[in-house]
Chains A and B, each alone.
Chain A
Amino acid sequence: MSEEKQTEYVTLVSCDGFEFKIKRSAAILAGAIKNMLDPNSRFQEGLTGRCEFENINGLVLDKVCEYLYYNEKHKDAKDMPDLDIPPELCLELLMAADYLNEREREKETNSMRRRYDKGRDFLATFWRFR
């Protein structure tokens, strides 16, 4: 697929069915999403411009998108305001960020997914405790 045919917006889908349409330029700042959307990688996502995350729920993915725009906006800024992360989301966001990093590093989905699922179980335990 040539460069011109790429859409300007891409769709990120959470596990509970929420769809987020964000700019491609912002989305590819996250290495994992960039890999998924790379037309040369022969992932299906690269052709359709639609990434589905089976492990990230809508709330967290919303925050991820906010971060991507925040990142793009303050690309060249020296003093940027802090991204507001609500306390109840921060641990899940940390897990999601780790997951996205993993994808970037290994490009091997199964083991990561298992790890992420493991992480989610702990999260559930954790919030029950809280």
Chain B
Amino acid sequence: MASPPSSPPLAILPQRPSNKRQRSGEVTDFFSSDPAPVFSSDDWQDASIEQYEAPRRKRTFRGPWWKSCKRWEPATMLTSESHVMSLARNLDSGVWIDNDDSIALSSSLSTLLNGPTTTDTSYQLTFCPDWQQKYPAPLLSQAELQAQGLVESCLEQGTQYVDMSNLGLEKLDGSIIQPIRAFSTVPMACDRDFRPQLKILLSMNSLQTLPKEIWELNHIVHLGLRQNRLETLSPNIAKLVDLQSLDITGNKIRWLPWELLSLITPSRSLAMFHVEHGNPLLMPFEGLPEFPSCIRELAIGHHQDFVQTKPETNSGHATEMQRWLCRIGETIHAGKLYGEGLSNSHCIPSKPWLVGCSEMARFSSDGTLANGSPIAPSLVPLEQRSLKAYLVDDLPQPQRISCSRVGSLFELSLRRVTALISTEQLRKYVPDLPEGPFQRALTEAEHVQADGGRTCSVCGQLYILPRAEWMEFWHVHRSGATAGINGHLLPFLRRACSWRCGYTAFCNIRSAYGRYAAKCTINSFP
């Protein structure tokens, strides 16, 4: 008789955890979702009859709630190796990708908990132990902390005058400047507007760069950057539309951004700016400091006789220089004749006038100088103080350029790459990228990012690598300087995103001069 087939063995069911409360005094599960006791007098342990024998310890909580979570020590997390590994995987999942908000959050959290300078891991940081090595909270130097304090006190008291001069700042973190954006004033009278009139002084420091956040404070009225180590001024300064006075003397500035001209037109308010003292400005000639005294004679009206009466004999550039002086005299003269924007007794037009221009330098698509291009103004060696330039009337006709305005493939993909990942990250993950132009382009992209982006001065498109650049010399009148005629020749660097843009701009300059020659009035600034 066949026995029935044996049934499979019963599965061993896991023992259900009992729902009963644990009576032991210890709470083992630290990660339980049980709400923490709210009051210090709450019974933390079970107040059953058995517990009455044992002496009960009253628990007190001191400090903020997040400090009471002592069990989440980073040390315990670090001991389990597998946990760290799985976390390391998650770090790259895009959640922690370079994000201003998250960094700001972590820095503000760590500031809240421990003060800004300590390296103790905060509550947030315990989840990912190497968070701080990856994205260090901006460690502020002593000087920066002092500056931060100054900004905070100004914001609290409602003072519009932020004096951060002479603090010995070597760099200025954007997070210090950013709070000033929130500044607003309460007007005393009804007709005043709410816009603050910020005065920011950063003079007598050792700053080499400025944070991009400073260009977003578009209510700055006075910006003092005297006696620093700045080498260039960002074109984004054109965003400060309310700027009335700018002081950049005593830096290492060799040229001004062309975009600054948009602030100097009479419709804007920038009337006072101090540039020329202590800056190694690039000029068409070496000997231009004596310029003003010569122009004074010209301004009176003898500029036609100038060439005969005052021949410069000892310099090779004499005749060329005289032509430049004559041109400046003419512009002053024209301003006097047409009564355009006259300033008190000196009869100087307050509009900037284009006097001369260097040749257009062309770059190939990866940012190196193209074949057959003249030297780029930004590549002129430091010890050289002069740059070959032409007066507007004998500016050579640029080569006809028929290439398109479309950025090169290199430029387009570089733009996309840097929008997605920071260059720092790219370098970290891809440690040895090909050298040469590739690396240089990445460095450039890094600069542009830190500076807050670049727009083409001709078509207004965003770009990273300039394809064309040239220097324009403008005669700019400024009030508030010392006595006499203080119209000066200043170099402005102009950049374009494509050769076509550069060509268009050059043709515009020439045609504008043609109009001047016809009407004897220069109106080349749009």
Chain A positions within 8 Å of B, measured between CB atoms, are: 29-30, 64, 67, 70-72, 74-78, 80, 82-83, 85, 87, 90-91, 93-94, 96-98, 100-101, 104-105, 115-116, 118-119, 122-123, 125-126, 129-130
Chain A nearest CB: distance from B216 CB in Å? Answer: 24
B410 touches A85 (CB 8 A): no
A122 touches B409 (CB 8 A): no
Q: Which one of B364, B416, B431 lies within 8 Å of A85 (CB-CB)?
A: B416
Q: Which one of A67, A87, A116, A122 lies within 8 Å of B412 (CB-CB)?
A: A67
Of B59-67, B153-161, B432-440, B486-494, the segment with at least 4 beta carbons within 8 Å of chain A is B432-440
B430 touches A122 (CB 8 A): yes
A122 touches B404 (CB 8 A): no
A125 touches B430 (CB 8 A): yes
Instruction: Give the distance in Å from the alpha carbon of A83 to the alpha carbon of B420 in the complex.
Output: 15
Pairs A–B under 8 Å by Cβ, sample size 29 = A29-B404, A67-B409, A71-B404, A71-B406, A74-B406, A75-B404, A76-B404, A77-B404, A80-B406, A85-B412, A85-B413, A90-B416, A90-B420, A91-B413, A91-B417, A93-B413, A94-B410, A94-B413, A96-B409, A97-B365, A98-B366, A98-B410, A98-B434, A101-B364, A119-B438, A122-B433, A123-B430, A125-B429, A129-B429
- Does any Cβ of A come within 8 Å of B361's Cβ? no
Q: Which one of B365, B405, B412, B417 lies within 8 Å of A78 (CB-CB)?
A: B405
List the B side residues contacting A129 at CB < 8 Å. 92, 429
List the B side residues contacting A105 at CB < 8 Å. 364
Beta-carbon nearest neighbor of A130 in chain B: B92
List the A side residues contacting B420 at CB < 8 Å. 87, 90
Instruction: Give the distance in Å from the alpha carbon of A67 to the alpha carbon of B296 in the complex.
Output: 57
Which residues in window 431-486 of B have CB below 8 A to A? 431-434, 437-438, 459
Instruction: Give the distance in Å from the alpha carbon of A129 to the alpha carbon of B428 in the complex.
Output: 11
Q: A101-B366, A122-B433, A126-B426 known; 12 other A-B pairs, CB under 8 Å? A: A29-B404, A72-B404, A77-B404, A90-B417, A91-B426, A94-B413, A97-B410, A98-B366, A98-B437, A98-B438, A101-B364, A123-B430
Instruction: Give the distance in Å from the alpha carbon of A70 to the alpha carbon of B365 in the complex.
Output: 17
Instruction: Give the distance in Å from the alpha carbon of A94 to the alpha carbon of B366 in the complex.
Output: 11
B430 touches A126 (CB 8 A): yes
Main SS of chain A's interface residues? helix
Contacts A115-B434, A126-B429 given: A93-B404 contact, CB under 8 Å? no
A87 touches B404 (CB 8 A): no
List the B side residues contacting A76 at CB < 8 Å. 404-405
List the B side residues contacting A115 at CB < 8 Å. 434
A122 touches B410 (CB 8 A): no
B413 touches A90 (CB 8 A): yes
B410 touches A101 (CB 8 A): yes
Which residues in window 83-128 of B have CB below 8 A to A? 92
List the B side residues contacting A94 at CB < 8 Å. 410, 413-414, 417
List the A side residues contacting B417 at CB < 8 Å. 90-91, 94
B429 touches A97 (CB 8 A): no
List the B side residues contacting A80 at CB < 8 Å. 405-406
Beta-carbon nearest neighbor of A122 in chain B: B430
Chain B nearest CB: distance from A6 CB in Å? Answer: 20
A101 touches B406 (CB 8 A): no
Instruction: Give the distance in Å from the alpha carbon of A80 to the alpha carbon of B437 in the complex.
Output: 27
Chain B nearest CB: distance from A59 CB in Å? Answer: 13
Q: Which one of A72, A78, A87, A104 lies within 8 Å of B416 (CB-CB)?
A: A87
Closest 5 CB pairs of A and B: A97-B410, A75-B404, A94-B413, A97-B409, A90-B416
Instruction: Give the distance in Å from the alpha carbon of A93 to the alpha carbon of B416 in the complex.
Output: 10
List the A side residues contacting B429 at CB < 8 Å. 125-126, 129
Which residues in window 392-408 of B have CB below 8 A to A? 404-406, 408
Q: Which one of A74, A82, A93, A101 lies within 8 Å of B405 (CB-CB)?
A: A74
List the A side residues contacting B405 at CB < 8 Å. 74, 76-78, 80
A64 touches B409 (CB 8 A): yes
